[in-house]
Structure 1
Amino acid sequence: MKQITSRDNASYKELKHLASSASARKKSAKTMLDGVHLCQAFLQHRGSPELCVVSASCVDHHEVVGILAQCEEDGADCIVLPDNLYQALSQVENGIGILFVIAANQEQAPQQLSLNAVLLDNLQDPGNLGSILRSAAAAGIQQVFCSPGSASAWSPKVLRAGMGAHFLLDIFENVDLHALISASTIPVLATSSHTKTTIYQINLNRPLAWLFGHEGQGVDPELMALATDTVTIPQKPEIESMNVAASAAICFFEQVRQQIAGASK
């Protein structure tokens, strides 16, 4: 493993820029996975990173040893940093000092919806986005489409909130949701408080796409008008609305429940 000890090292400067700048991540089409769990998940589902970076005090940690061994076996570059230099890269406090540099997914989105999917219109909060990705992956949903203006799906905050879900999903960003919904070959369902049809009264045992919107403003009215159906989640009237990530999880797992019930008939 290569050791870097100076903050003036060109490779280290590049790493620090990548860690601190969203524009640098976007320009390079790279991002960072911070911590043992994300690194292990990436190795399991996607393979080797472009670069593995370890803090000096964690080189002999039993979980890090296994990750390093696999990276080196696969021919990935590995570097060791003094703890103070590593900590300037990491956003995880009191974590195990290992991170990966990986290519952020930049695939072209398909022009039609045909698989179970989630459409996110201008979703702003990284924690909400990561939580939705995690629930979607757990529910067996395959694709996620994010409109322009949504939080960056491959930002460090979203990656941490997703807990490895990114590597089980096809995630597409900056997607024209109007065109996508218009060309859809499967139903598109949006949640709304202005309908009486609940998620428990509609057939979810089929391929479909869920549409969720901005935390405060909801789904754009023009997109809402394109949805095949609007559904609601029954709740106490004293609560105006639920968090979008919680609503999404309820919808996804009602779909799972109906799929299981349908398979058992």
Structure 2
Amino acid sequence: MKLIQSRDNAFFKSLKRLAESGRERRKTGQTLLDGVHLVEAYEAAFGPVETLIVAESAQAGGEIARFVDKRQTVQLADSLMRDLGLVDTPSGLLALVKTPAATAAPDRKSDAILLDGIQDPGNVGTLLRTAAAAGIKQALLAPGCASAWSPKVLRAGQGAHFALSIHEDVDLTTFMANYEGTSAVTCLDGATSLYSAQLTGAIAWVFGAEGQGVRAELIAAAGQRVKIPMPGAVESLNVAAAAAVCLFEMVRRRSA
């Protein structure tokens, strides 16, 4: 097993570029996964990863040591693993993988989640995870969203990426204009309560940026405007929490 201890090592430098640069991830078609759970989810969908990278101390025992037992790995000094700055609390296990490509063009007849300008990686990852849990199969991200395949979004998604067809840099207005189901946008003005809204057939849910909300042109293009009733003192929800309420109201209706 090779142990890398120098910051000047060429392989470490390549990992550092992938950890820090969306442009590098797009250019190479690769990304990094952090943790056993994400690696297992990837391998269940796509087969063995290209390269496993293990922190030096993680070899001593525990879940990671058991997971990598008898597998070919590259070992990084603990200080180098921390220097990657991949996530706030590195697990001690990374995988270098090919970034999965969307299987086809966005489906105009199926449920979808549309994200407009959501820049927080934790929110994007949580939204993808919530959509996958609700049975949605595709996610469309407008320009300006956090990169779906960045390590922090992947960590927050907890494997949801591998159950979704993910499309980035999408013109959401054009997609909504050609969508054969109903597009539903969360907003306040002229909106119907979520609990009395029509939620039949395929739905493309549109959720907007933290603070600004959904852009005006997308609100205008939506077939339905909905709001979540909030009888308490708080007037708004985090976008990921709002999406969970909406998506699982849809699930509840369909299960009834």
TM > 0.5 between the two?
yes
Q: What's the CA shift string for 1:192-220, capped at 9, x where partnerless?
A: 21235222112324221101112122111
For 1:249, the equivalent position in structure 2 comes to 244
**1:87-236 matches, cutoff 5 A:** 87-92=82-87, 95-107=90-102, 110=105, 112-236=107-231
For residues 106 and 88 of structure 2, the distance between their equivalents in structure 1, rounded to whole angstroms, comes to 41
Q: How many angstroms does 1:187 deviate by?
A: 0.8
Q: How many residues align?
A: 256
Structure 2 counterpart SS, 1:175? coil
Q: What's the CA shift string for 1:164-216, capped at 9, x where partnerless?
A: 21111111100111111111111111112123522211232422110111212
For residues 181 and 91 of structure 1, the distance between their equivalents in structure 2, rounded to whole angstroms, comes to 35
Comparing 222-231 and 32-41, the one that deviates more: 32-41
TM-score using structure 1 length: 0.87
Structure 2 counterpart SS, 1:86? helix
For 1:9, the equivalent position in structure 2 comes to 9
Residue identity in the other structure for 1:37: H
User: Do the aligned partners of 1:34 and 1:156 also contact (CA within 8 Å) in 2?
Assistant: yes
Residue identity in the other structure for 2:92: G
User: Do the aligned partners of 1:181 and 1:188 also contact (CA within 8 Å) in 2?
Assistant: yes
For 2:76, the equivalent position in structure 1 comes to 81
For residues 148 and 127 of structure 1, the distance between their equivalents in structure 2, rounded to whole angstroms, comes to 17
Residue identity in the other structure for 2:221: L
For residues 244 and 34 of structure 1, the distance between their equivalents in structure 2, rounded to whole angstroms, comes to 25
Residue identity in the other structure for 2:30: K
Structure 1 counterpart SS, 2:175? helix
User: Do the aligned partners of 1:195 and 1:232 also contact (CA within 8 Å) in 2?
Assistant: no
Q: How many angstroms does 1:227 deviate by?
A: 0.8
For residues 196 and 178 of structure 1, the distance between their equivalents in structure 2, rounded to whole angstroms, comes to 19
Comparing 14-23 and 121-130, the one that deviates more: 14-23
Residue identity in the other structure for 2:247: F
Residues 196, 176 of structure 1: alpha-carbon distance in 2 compared, 3 angstrom cutoff: closer
Q: How many angstroms does 1:235 deviate by?
A: 0.9
Gaps of 5+ in 2: none
For residues 111 and 161 of structure 2, the distance between their equivalents in structure 1, rounded to whole angstroms, comes to 16
Residues 112, 36 of structure 1: alpha-carbon distance in 2 compared, 3 angstrom cutoff: closer
The percentage of aligned residue pairs carrying the same residue is 45
Structure 1 counterpart SS, 2:31? strand
Structure 1 counterpart SS, 2:100? coil
Gaps of 5+ in 1: none
Q: How many angstroms does 1:244 deviate by?
A: 1.1
Q: How many angstroms does 1:25 deviate by?
A: 2.0
Residue identity in the other structure for 2:64: V
Q: What's the CA shift string for 1:63-119, capped at 9, x where partnerless?
A: 22443258x4xxxx6211222222222534565310111222343762542211101
Residue identity in the other structure for 2:199: L
Taking only aligned residues, the RMSD between alpha carbons, in angstroms, comes to 2.2
TM-score using structure 2 length: 0.90
User: Do the aligned partners of 2:59 and 2:65 also contact (CA within 8 Å) in 1?
Assistant: yes
User: Do the aligned partners of 1:134 and 1:164 also contact (CA within 8 Å) in 2?
Assistant: yes
For residues 2 and 214 of structure 2, the distance between their equivalents in structure 1, rounded to whole angstroms, comes to 49
For residues 211 and 104 of structure 1, the distance between their equivalents in structure 2, rounded to whole angstroms, comes to 25
Comparing 38-47 and 121-130, the one that deviates more: 38-47
User: Do the aligned partners of 2:183 and 2:223 also contact (CA within 8 Å) in 1?
Assistant: yes
Q: How many angstroms does 1:28 deviate by?
A: 1.8
For 1:52, the equivalent position in structure 2 comes to 52
For residues 117 and 234 of structure 2, the distance between their equivalents in structure 1, rounded to whole angstroms, comes to 23
